[in-house]
């Protein structure tokens, strides 16, 4: 078994040198193993460059039963479906007990520039497979969290050809895995930087399926949804269909792709079909997950015509509402919210689902009706021990950039409203009216409002 030799930390004092320091080029595909372990002496980490082998699937399925965080986006089947531009590196932590070897941890990364990074820094970024993955937490045996994370960080730090910085987007911001990561970083003297935090809706059964949505929605919202459902039923047969077999899931996913492309995401160029590589990723991922009963499609149909679709992924006892789309011609009847009611009730009635993660950006949308909340954060950390001037400089620049970017984004989003107000003010000031004083006053009010 080959031991990775620790390399000395470069003496970095300026930002340009810091960037070069953490941007090592990726190596050719292959494996590299190392022993861990003054800590437990039973954990060693294997660094796999390239897509993980299908032979790993059985070990991962077994790990999922023991995992603290059943993260579907760390599924090896999903990592293998990664888009061609992704340079994937996977850390496999094995627990060795005599002749018996058991997978204790799985963490996949892509070697890339971190999301929204202001600097040309290359890091180990998670999620790894696609920009359409929404959780970066490693999948680790709940009884071996600290030892496994310690071994993984040591493996990264000692691999001379890997970046030293890890950039996690949508990392679980609470729970045993996150707490263990903070402990291990503290024990090693490794720096970390929390950049952004969001709460997203989480469905946690326990309060009873019968009154969950009733308690979550206001009486006026429930009344409106009953009216929408009744009016749609007046137009035809309204029913929710669940696809679980591989052919049915594939057909349902194509329906989703079409609905999404025909809606506002298609107009904005952000639908999966707008990016052929992403659409192909989605098709491959859905097919491979459906083959192991880890994907399903919920569809609200009106006389057999799909009017709303929800793509659901599964990992162990967790469900993930990955993608949704609806027929925007029927937007006044809230078909997406009606389907949301139906699959929420189905989740609550399923004894095999411990929780459902909305995968939402935050809790401002309709899925806020789910009463639970999951804290997700963007977290960068340095796998080297002790304080690093380079890491301090890079994260400092990133922390300063993010609020500035948010401010510019809000200004940009307001531009159409500002332009409309300016046009109205100009029209009011130049229109021939009987009471010119009144027109001039209105124009002045608009101008001051702008």
pLDDT of residue 19: 39
Q: What is the pLDDT of residue 398?
A: 80
429 strand-pairing partners: none
38 falls in which pLDDT band (50, 70, 90)?
Answer: low
pLDDT category at 222 given cuts 50, 70, 90 is: confident
**What pTM was computed for the model?**
0.82
Q: What is the pLDDT of residue 85?
A: 84
Per-residue HEC secondary structure of the chain comes to CCCCCCCCCCCCCCHHHHHHHCCCCCCCCEEEEEEECCCCCCEEEEEEECCCCHHHHHHHHHHHHHECCCCHHHCHHHHHCCCCCCCEEEEEEEEEECCEEEEEEEEEEEEECCCCCCCCCCEEEECCCCCCCCCCCCEEECCCHHHHHHHHHHHHHHCCCCCCEEEEEEEECCCHHHHHHHHHHHHHCCCEEEEEEEEEEEECCCCCCCCHHHHHCCHHHHHHHHHHHHHHHHHCCEEEEEECCHHHHHHHHHHHHHHHHCCHHHHHCCCHHHCHHHHHHHHHHHHHHHCCCCEEEEEEEECCEEEEEEEEEEECCEEEEEEEEECHHHHHHCHHHHHHHHHHHHHHHCCCCCEEECCCCCCCCHHHHCCEEEEEEEEEEECCCCCCHHHHHHHHHHHHHHHHHHHHHHHHHHHHHHHHHHHHHHHHHHCCCCCHHHHHHHHHHHHHHC
- Report the pLDDT value the prediction gives residue 332, as an integer from 0 to 100: 93
Does the pLDDT at position 12 exceed 70?
no
Looking at residue 306, its pLDDT comes to: 97
Q: How many CB atoms lie within 10 A of CB 24?
A: 15
Position 427 confidence tier, pLDDT thresholds 50, 70, 90: low
pLDDT above 50 (res 358): yes
Given a cut of 50, whether residue 11 has pLDDT beyond it is no
Q: Which CATH architecture has domain 205-353?
A: 3-Layer(aba) Sandwich (3.40)
Q: What is the pLDDT of residue 352?
A: 92
Structure confidence at residue 17 (pLDDT): 38
- Band of residue 199 on the pLDDT scale cut at 50, 70, 90: very high
Q: What is the pLDDT of residue 317?
A: 94
Q: Where in the chain is the domain with CATH 3.40.630?
A: 15-198+376-405, 205-353
Among the ranges given (81-90, 160-169, 322-331), the one the predictor scored with the smallest mean pLDDT: 81-90
Model pLDDT, residue 216: 64
pLDDT at 145 over 80: yes
Q: What is the mean pLDDT of residues 12-23?
A: 39
pLDDT at residue 286 above 50? yes
Question: Which has the higher per-residue pLDDT, 201 or 221?
Answer: 201
Under a CB-based contact definition with an 8 Å cutoff, are residues 285 and 249 in contact? no
Predicted confidence band of residue 425 (pLDDT cuts 50, 70, 90): low
Greater confidence, 241 or 398? 241
CA pair distance 381, 164, nearest whole angstrom: 9
Give percent of the chain with pLDDT exceeding 90: 62
- What would the two tokens of residue 106 be? 């799985």
Higher-scoring residue by pLDDT: 312, 30: 312
The percent of residues above 70 in pLDDT, for the chain, comes to 78
145 C-beta neighbours (distance < 10 Å), count: 23
Identify the pLDDT of residue 218: 74
3.40.91, 3.40.50, 1.10.3470, 3.40.630: CATH of 15-198+376-405: 3.40.630
Q: How confident is the model at residue 2 (pLDDT cuts 50, 70, 90)?
A: very low
Give the range among 196-205, 328-337, 395-404 with minimum mean pLDDT.
395-404
- pLDDT-derived band at 207 (thresholds 50, 70, 90) equals low
* pLDDT at res. 364: 86
Mean pLDDT of 292-320: 97
The mean pLDDT of 428-449, rounded to a whole number, is: 41
Residue 168 · residue 127 · CB < 8 Å:
no
What is the rounded average pLDDT for all residues in the chain? 83
Mean pLDDT of 46-74: 95
Of 62 and 408, the structure prediction assigns the larger pLDDT to 62
Q: Are 145 and 79 in contact (CB under 8 A)?
A: no
Residue 24 has pLDDT above 70, yes or no: no
Residues 104, 48: Cα–Cα separation, whole Å:
15
């Amino acid at each position: 078994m080959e031991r990775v030799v620790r390399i000395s930390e470069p003496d970095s004092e300026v930002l340009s040198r810091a960037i070069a320091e953490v941007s090592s080029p990726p190596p050719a595909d292959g494996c590299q193993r190392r022993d861990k372990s003054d800590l437990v002496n039973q954990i060693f980490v294997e660094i796999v460059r390239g897509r993980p082998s299908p032979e790993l699937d059985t070990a991962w399925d077994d790990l999922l039963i023991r995992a603290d965080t059943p993260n579907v986006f760390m599924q090896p089947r999903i990592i293998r479906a990664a888009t061609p531009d992704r340079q994937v590196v996977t850390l496999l932590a094995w627990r060795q007990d005599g002749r018996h070897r058991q997978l204790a941890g799985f963490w996949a990364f892509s070697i890339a520039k971190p999301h929204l990074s202001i600097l040309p820094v290359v890091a180990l970024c998670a999620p790894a497979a696609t920009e359409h993955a929404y959780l970066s937490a490693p999948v680790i045996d709940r009884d071996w969290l600290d030892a496994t994370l310690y071994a993984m960080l040591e493996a990264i730090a000692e691999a001379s050809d890997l970046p030293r910085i890890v950039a996690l987007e949508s990392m679980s911001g609470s729970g045993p895995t996150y707490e263990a990561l903070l402990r291990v970083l503290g024990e090693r003297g490794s720096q970390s930087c929390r950049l952004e935090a969001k709460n997203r809706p989480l469905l946690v059964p326990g309060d009873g399926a019968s009154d969950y949505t009733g308690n979550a929605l206001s009486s006026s919202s429930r009344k409106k949804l009953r009216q929408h459902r009744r009016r749609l039923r007046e137009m035809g047969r309204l029913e929710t269909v669940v696809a679980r077999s591989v052919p049915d899931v594939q057909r349902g996913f194509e329906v989703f792709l079409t609905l999404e492309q025909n809606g506002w995401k298609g107009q904005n160029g952000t639908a999966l079909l707008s990016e052929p590589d992403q659409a192909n990723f989605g098709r491959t991922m859905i097919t491979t997950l459906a083959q192991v009963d880890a994907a399903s499609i919920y569809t609200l149909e009106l006389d057999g015509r799909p009017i709303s679709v929800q793509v659901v992924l599964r990992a162990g006892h967790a469900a993930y509402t990955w993608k949704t789309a609806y027929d925007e011609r029927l937007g006044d009847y809230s078909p997406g919210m009606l389907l949301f009611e139906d699959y929420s009730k189905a989740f609550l009635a399923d004894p095999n689902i411990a929780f459902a993660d909305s995968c939402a950006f935050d809790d401002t949308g309709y899925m806020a009706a789910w009463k639970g909340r999951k804290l997700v954060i963007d977290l960068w950390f340095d796998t080297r021990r002790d304080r690093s001037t380079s890491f301090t400089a890079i994260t400092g620049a990133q922390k300063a950039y993010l609020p500035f970017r948010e401010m510019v984004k809000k200004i940009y989003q307001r531009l159409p409203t500002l332009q409309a107000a300016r046009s109205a003010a100009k029209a009011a000031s130049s229109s021939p009216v009987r009471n010119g004083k009144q027109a001039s006053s209105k124009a002045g009010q608009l101008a001051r409002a702008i």
